[in-house]
Chains A and B, each alone.
Chain A
Amino acid sequence: MVSSATLHTAMAEIVVGSMVLATICAVGCLASRMLAPSGINNESLFITMDRASLAGSFLALLFLPIAILTGNLASEGYAESALLYNKFVYSGLALGLWSSFVIGRYRMGPGLWNYRQLAILQSSTAVLAFLMTSMASSIGGKLVRGESLFDILPFWLPSDSAAILPLWASSTLLLLGIISTIIVFRLTLPRINTMD
């Protein structure tokens, strides 16, 4: 048997590993469409990267809720520090960004990479999602070992201090999120078609 913290680490490793693959491939897809075709930059490579980014992000999205759940269990019901509070927030941002990436790719198909604006949006989403995921993971390292690989970087997203919302404000924000998601999906459902 393993502790919830260990299981959380294992889940987080699967998520981060899959997301690294998805991010690299998403950026690769954008580069493939931006650069002139060549012996290396061919259609076969593009298709492989597109499918790998979809598979990686889908796998990560599958394991992300488990990682969040085990993280919740490991925290034993306390948001005892700004670091832990921020870990929740960054996990939520990562979940939203990766979901958007998968939704976009699934609804628009591989043809989205042929349109510069959509391709930039899609790859930027992947990069931002990866940044949020790695921040959440690094906070985990900070909490458990007191150090993180991000310590050696010259920049660091805010994590030591948290913008704490009271429960009523968080709940209102959540309600707003649910309503806006429903409205957006109802409005965009007939509009977005698979792009050739």
Chain B
Amino acid sequence: MNRFVIVTLLCLSLVLAPGSSLANPGGNGDADRDYSCGGSCHGDPSLSMPSDANIEISLGNEAFSGQAVSVDVTVSDVSSPSNIIGIFLLSSLNGNSDTPEDHGWHMIQDPNGGSSNYIETKMPSSGTITETWVLLSPETLGSHNLYAEVHHGSYGGEKAYTGVSEAFEVTVNDVPEGLPGISNDWVAPSFRVSGDDSPLHISTRNTTDISVEWMIEGEWDPTSAPVQCTSDSEDGVCNDWEVRIPATMGEIEIIYRITTFNGTFSIEQPWLKMGTAPPPFEGDIWSARAHSFAFALLVISILVSLQGRLTLTIERKDTDQTELVNNSSLIRSEDNPGWLWNPETEEWVEDYEYREGAE
């Protein structure tokens, strides 16, 4: 009894132990995070080590107030082997309110298609990776700093590595009044459901027209997509658009570029990315559990009944002597009742089945 209690307690402890887990070697997922995640393992001096990764920031195009700009972060020379790497785009290193959104930037799209300042990705075998964020520049003119930080581990898992770039100064320039661009509150969708051909909604500002060209990731020749204004226009200005981009299947990623027009202005926005997601799964966890245990019990009942059936057949075979008697070469003789003639040994043997007077 004591042993049973000990084993039960041990099993329960093992099952309940994960509840207080601390380590996250597989990362924490994309999210808006401050510098060093506000004191994670990577920020703890006793648990972390400085990463020797080379981190560089560059701009894909010149930054204008309220206009889209692409920010490229290149990470190279990561000597510590790590499967997953987390990359931050930050505007300060205070430990709080560090995200670009906290400093007047607006996130249009992160490298994974979402809208987070921290993303996780797999490190390629080349050891160099470039990731691109698309943001709307702050309205405030002048100098703005951007930083990139990396978090990674090693296969040994003994330390959490962290590295941060030098400050990268972005000069935000003034723009002429009425310059067309992407709306401050629009976020590019990260994916569409497989087979969904519903139109893509785009919000702009100061636009009289837009054009959208798209292509599948890896192709070189973009195709124009039909666009339609969906809001009441004043003075020819329309800021809500629907764009028809064909439905995608499987794991196809579409990249598209919006060009905004207003009079003589024609502004090409950075390329944006849109993945394909499988249709939402409608399975229920309790249904799966019941389904699982139902199959287990049904399999047990089928196989155990089969075992019982086969055992019965074998037992019958063992006890049934009819076949043996039928195949016997013993000859019953009417002249010598109660005796059988064995032609092989040429001698009479007693017939145990003979009963006197019976026919």
Question: Nearest A residue to B284 by beta-carbon distance?
Answer: A167
Q: Confirm or deny: B200 has a beta carbon within 8 angstroms of a beta carbon on chain A.
A: no
Is the pair A195, B311 in contact by a Cβ cutoff of 8 Å? yes
Cα A115 to Cα B312 with chains together (Å): 12
- Among B23, B283, B292, B301, which residue has its beta carbon within 8 angstroms of that of A180? B301
Is the pair B299, A100 in contact by a Cβ cutoff of 8 Å? yes
A177-B314 CB under 8 A given contacts A7-B14, A73-B15, A166-B287: no
Q: Type the 1/0 row for B264-293, where 1 means its CB is closer than 8 Å to any CB of A.
A: 000000000000001001111111111111
Q: Type the 1/0 row for A91-124, where 1 means its CB is closer than 8 Å to any CB of B.
A: 1110111011001100110000001011001000
Nearest-CB distance from B297 to chain A (Å)? 3
Q: Type the 1/0 row for B26-61, where 1 means its CB is closer than 8 Å to any CB of A.
A: 100000000000000000000000000000000000
Cα A177 to Cα B283 with chains together (Å): 21
Q: Confirm or deny: B349 has a beta carbon within 8 angstroms of a beta carbon on chain A.
A: no
- Among B18, B294, B310, which residue has its beta carbon within 8 angstroms of that of A170? B294
Is the pair B22, A1 in contact by a Cβ cutoff of 8 Å? yes
Cα A195 to Cα B318 with chains together (Å): 12
Q: Type the 1/0 row for A53-71, where 1 means its CB is closer than 8 Å to any CB of B.
A: 0000000000000101110
Residues of A within 8 A of B283 (CB): 79-82, 84-85, 162, 164
Cα A170 to Cα B301 with chains together (Å): 17
Is the pair A88, B291 in contact by a Cβ cutoff of 8 Å? yes
Is the pair A77, B285 in contact by a Cβ cutoff of 8 Å? yes
Is the pair A191, B291 in contact by a Cβ cutoff of 8 Å? no
Q: Confirm or deny: B295 has a beta carbon within 8 angstroms of a beta carbon on chain A.
A: yes
Q: Confirm or deny: A156 has a beta carbon within 8 angstroms of a beta carbon on chain B.
A: no
Is the pair A89, B305 in contact by a Cβ cutoff of 8 Å? no
Question: Nearest B residue to A136 by beta-carbon distance?
Answer: B292
Name the interface size band of chain B. Answer: 35 or more
Nearest-CB distance from A96 to chain B (Å)? 3
Is the pair A1, B303 in contact by a Cβ cutoff of 8 Å? no
Question: Nearest B residue to A100 by beta-carbon distance?
Answer: B303
Q: Confirm or deny: B328 has a beta carbon within 8 angstroms of a beta carbon on chain A.
A: no
Is the pair A164, B282 in contact by a Cβ cutoff of 8 Å? yes
Q: Confirm or deny: B252 has a beta carbon within 8 angstroms of a beta carbon on chain A.
A: no
Nearest-CB distance from A40 to chain B (Å)? 28
- Among B20, B22, B307, which residue has its beta carbon within 8 angstroms of that of A104? B307
Q: B297-334: which residues lie under 8 A (CB-CB) from chain A?
A: 297-301, 303-308, 310-314
Nearest-CB distance from A85 to chain B (Å)? 4
Cα A128 to Cα B288 with chains together (Å): 21
Q: Mostly helix, strand, loop or mixed at chain A's interface?
A: helix
Is the pair A173, B304 in contact by a Cβ cutoff of 8 Å? no
Of A17-25, A28-36, A182-190, the one touching chain B: A182-190
Cα A178 to Cα B308 with chains together (Å): 18
Is the pair A89, B299 in contact by a Cβ cutoff of 8 Å? no
Is the pair B281, A82 in contact by a Cβ cutoff of 8 Å? yes
- Among B15, B285, B303, B311, which residue has its beta carbon within 8 angstroms of that of A69? B15
Is the pair B296, A99 in contact by a Cβ cutoff of 8 Å? yes
Residues of A within 8 A of B298 (CB): 96, 173, 176-177, 180
Is the pair A4, B301 in contact by a Cβ cutoff of 8 Å? no
A1-B20 CB under 8 A given contacts A82-B281, A99-B300, A181-B297: yes
Cα A81 to Cα B291 with chains together (Å): 15
Best-surrounded residue of B278, B305, B311 (most CB of chain A within 10 A):
B311
Is the pair B21, A93 in contact by a Cβ cutoff of 8 Å? no
Residues of B within 8 A of A177 (CB): 293-298, 301
A89-B288 CB under 8 A given contacts A1-B22, A103-B300, A177-B301: yes
Nearest-CB distance from B29 to chain A (Å)? 13
Q: Confirm or deny: A171 has a beta carbon within 8 angstroms of a beta carbon on chain B.
A: yes
Q: Confirm or deny: B11 has a beta carbon within 8 angstroms of a beta carbon on chain A.
A: yes
Residues of B within 8 A of A48 (CB): none
A167-B300 CB under 8 A given contacts A1-B17, A79-B285, A104-B307: no
Cα A177 to Cα B290 with chains together (Å): 10
Q: Confirm or deny: A2 has a beta carbon within 8 angstroms of a beta carbon on chain B.
A: yes
A173-B291, A184-B308 known; 7 new pairs, CB 8 Å cut-off, are A84-B288, A89-B292, A162-B281, A164-B284, A170-B290, A181-B300, A192-B307
Q: What residues make up the interface of A, taking CB atoms closer than 8 Å to B?
A: 1-7, 66, 68-70, 72-75, 77-82, 84-85, 88-89, 91-93, 95-97, 99-100, 103-104, 107-108, 115, 117-118, 121, 125, 144, 162, 164-167, 169-171, 173-174, 176-178, 180-181, 183-185, 187-188, 191-193, 195
Q: What residues make up the interface of B, taking CB atoms closer than 8 Å to A?
A: 11, 14-15, 17-24, 26, 278, 281-301, 303-308, 310-314
Q: Which 9 residue pairs of A and B lie closest in terms of their CB atoms, listed nearest first?
A: A96-B299, A177-B297, A92-B292, A4-B18, A188-B308, A100-B303, A170-B290, A96-B296, A173-B294
